[in-house]
Amino acid sequence: MPRPRFRELMGKRAIGFANWSFRRRHEHRIETLAAILADLKAQAPDHIALTGDLVNVALPGEFAAARDFLSQVGVPHDVTLVPGNHDAYVRATMGHAAAQWGDYMRGDDGSASFPFVRRRGGVALVGLSTAVPTPPFRATGLIGPEQMQRFDAVLSELDNASEPVVVLMHHPPTTFPHDKHKLLLDAYAFRALIGRHRVAAVLHGHMHVGALTWIGGVPVFGVPSASMTKGSETAGYNLYGFSNEDGWRCEIVSRRWRSSVITESARTSLPLG
């Protein structure tokens, strides 16, 4: 966290900075993140997907630091990013994510708008943005009608694709009733749209816990934070492997940080529609 100027700590940023200073900086450690990244690279995945929240309170200096982190993760061709609510924490720096990280949020056609499509490793990745500025004590997300319309058109084009379609987003499109201040506000419209198209899986972040929920027959995977050192749900990530023998299947391997050691915590295989 860069040292903020006094004038930068107005409104929502002041609350977020206090939260970081007294709590989150003790829970989220750069050493843990570095260990997760080293373990991930040792697994040699074909592609890496990040589902947002690279910064904390969206100070201008945070975005350049996050760009340096992204360069450690990989080159833009090998890493796909969608933004989180902290990346759009305040309106004043809304354009910074695109300016600093745009190469990681760009489609194969060069498009810099959402949704974008990337084909990597036999999978069609569709990146959505649910990141919008919100009032203090709110962390809700929104796709919005215009992006939703474009998303519908993109999925229509991919309905006849030979590879599985995987949607990347930050906010979960399913309900966590105890966290209403973190909901995706147009989740119902998203779920209805998914039901009309051929989507293999949805990957999200935001809740900082590993989760598997469903939209009809579509699995929806959540992952922990990559830097959480304390608490019941410490840092981790998932590896997804897609195969097509007698129909598409996805093998999911969960790797978690426990007491400075990262090990496999779960492995499962699911059929895909």
4-48 residue pLDDT tens: 988 898 889 999 999 999 999 999 999 999 999 999 999 999 999
Q: What is the mean pLDDT of each run of 10 residues along the chain (273 residues)?
A: 88 94 94 97 97 96 96 98 97 94 97 96 96 95 98 97 96 81 95 96 95 95 95 94 92 95 96 85
Which is nearest to 90 in space by CA: 8, 197, 199, 4? 8
pTM of the model: 0.96
Cα 120 off chain centre by = 17
The upper half-sphere exposure of residue 146, i.e. CA atoms within 13 Å in the direction of its Cβ, equals 2
Count CB neighbours of 269 within 10 A.
11
Domain map of the chain by residue range? Answer: 6-271
The CATH superfamily holding the domain 6-271 is: Metallo-dependent phosphatases (3.60.21.10)
- Residues in the chain, overall count: 273
- HEC string of the chain equals CCCCCHHHCCCHHHHHHHHHHHHHHHHECHHHHHHHHHHHHHCCCCCEEECCCCCCCCCHHHHHHHHHHHHHHCCHHHEEECCCHHHHCCHHHCCHHHHHHHHHCCCCCCCCCCCEEEEECCEEEEECCCCCCCCCCCCCECCCHHHHHHHHHHHHHHCCCCCCEEEECCCCCCCCHHHHHHCECCHHHHHHHHCCCCCCEEEECCCCCCEEEEECCEEEEECCCCCECCCCCCCEEEEEEEEECCCEEEEEEEEEEECCEEEEEEEEEEECC
Cα 210 off chain centre by = 13
pLDDT at position 7 is 87
pLDDT at position 259 is 87
Taking a C-beta distance cutoff of 8 angstroms, is the pair 233, 224 a contact? yes
